[in-house]
Amino acid sequence: MKKIAAAFGARVLRADGSLDRKALGDIVFNNPDQLAQLNAIDHPYLRDAINDALAAAKATGARVVVGEIPLLYETHYETGFDGVAVVTLPPNMQLERLMARDGLTQAQAQARINAQMPLADKIAKADFLIDNSQGPAARKAQVADLLGQLAR
């Protein structure tokens, strides 16, 4: 967090010193150079954390290890996994849910979506698909089915 504050200034910190993700997002998702700067700060830390978590999970002897990594393909982390499931959602629902979840305007939400690899490209690379358009119960059932298949 110190590196992020040093790079982007106090405007990305809340009064209690914690990171103001919305303020940081407003900066980086409207400027590709600043997004690249944030990624250069975060990605080495994130890669180490993911590798440590995978090693710890594998050490338990678990048959299936799941990682939830929003920018998996963008950061080329997929090479660390035997398979990748992509959660799909129609673009209009993705935009609406992001706005509702994070309290974003349409422009702010669209900027975040535009900063990611297009969903169609992720679907083309995926080993498994989870349809998130039918609500939480249907999504959970799909995930349970997939985990059951993988555990066999």
65-111 pLDDT, tens digit each: 888 998 899 988 898 889 999 999 999 999 999 999 999 999 999 99
> What pLDDT was estimated at residue 152?
83
End-to-end CA distance of the chain: 41
pTM of the predicted model over 0.85:
no
| Domains of the chain by residue range | 1-62, 64-152
Local confidence band at 137 (pLDDT 50, 70, 90 cut-offs): very high
> What pLDDT was estimated at residue 38?
95
How many CB atoms neighbour CB 107 within 10 A? Answer: 10
> What gap in Å lies between CA 144 and CA 98, rounded to an integer?
24
80 by DSSP, 3-state: which? helix
> What pLDDT was estimated at residue 65?
87
> What pLDDT was estimated at residue 70?
83
CATH tag, 64-152: 3.40.50.300
Nearest to 35 by CA among 46, 27, 44: 27
Element (H, E) at 87: strand 85-88
> What pLDDT was estimated at residue 98?
95
Q: If you average pLDDT over every residue of the chain, what do you get?
A: 93
Local confidence band at 147 (pLDDT 50, 70, 90 cut-offs): very high
How many alpha carbons fall within 13 Å on the CB side of residue 134?
9
Model pLDDT for residues 22-66, shown as the tens digit of each residue: 899 999 998 999 999 999 999 999 889 989 998 999 899 988 888
Local confidence band at 4 (pLDDT 50, 70, 90 cut-offs): very high
> What pLDDT was estimated at residue 12?
94
